[in-house]
Amino acid sequence: MKKEIPKCIGVIMDGNRRWAKKKEVATFKGHNEGYKRLKDLISWTNELKIQNVIIYAFSTENWKRSEIEIKYLFKIFRKLIFKELDFLKKENAKVKFVGQIDRFPKDIQKGILKIEKETEKNKGINIFLALSYGGRAEIIDAVSKALKEAKSKNIKITEKSFKKYFWTKDMPDPEIIIRTGGEMRLSNFLLWQAAYSELFFTKTFWPDFSKKEFNNIILEFGEREKRCGK
């Protein structure tokens, strides 16, 4: 059987808090274990030569969480931005952040710009980190930009040209979306881009997600018949 490797995958990292509750430990420990698994995921995708991965790290709805939890998540974001450059270079990873970046503290915003610049020449995997991201918000923002340009330049917006207004315009549509944690929904993730994505839902909490399970999903993807409406 020919092994088919997707060019782009999306990952919804769900279950950190429930993992912590099950283990009877503090919520922050679940997020910390989830961070370790994120680094593993980058290595796994690189090993399989998957060219693009978009990771749902913080949604527009996550701002509703407690101030204490949000501050801890910011601590994790800072760790990734300011302390993982050597790891990203080792993985030859180019990093791009997508979402409402202007909602984050100034130091995080500056750090995002810095790490994007410092990894832009890496030629390995493209990592898109979705922070303060929501599919509806992205579509509304894209529509607003498209209407403004169409009016000022008197041009027609097509499905193909519409893509350039998205925050995710630099990545291909995901062929696979994986969600851990047992929930079977997209939760406002890539609503436009997921039109023909193969969906994989697993009950495994994100901190327990393994390389073996990931590889099995990629293998199953190769076995699925994908007609894309044809």
Instruction: Write out the H or E segment, with its range, that includes residue 190.
Output: none
Is 154 tagged catalytic?
no
Which one is catalytic: 16, 32, 46, 62? 62
Dist. CA 85–CA 106, nearest whole Å:
19
Dist. CA 89–CA 23, nearest whole Å:
34
Dist. CA 206–CA 101, nearest whole Å:
24
Is 215 tagged catalytic?
no
Which one is catalytic: 14, 32, 52, 173? 14
Dist. CA 175–CA 7, nearest whole Å:
7
CB burial readout 202-214, b (16+ within 10 A) else e? bebbbbbbeeeeb
- Alpha helix segments (H runs only) across the chain: 16-23, 27-47, 67-83, 85-90, 106-119, 135-153, 159-162, 211-223
**Catalytic positions:** 14, 62
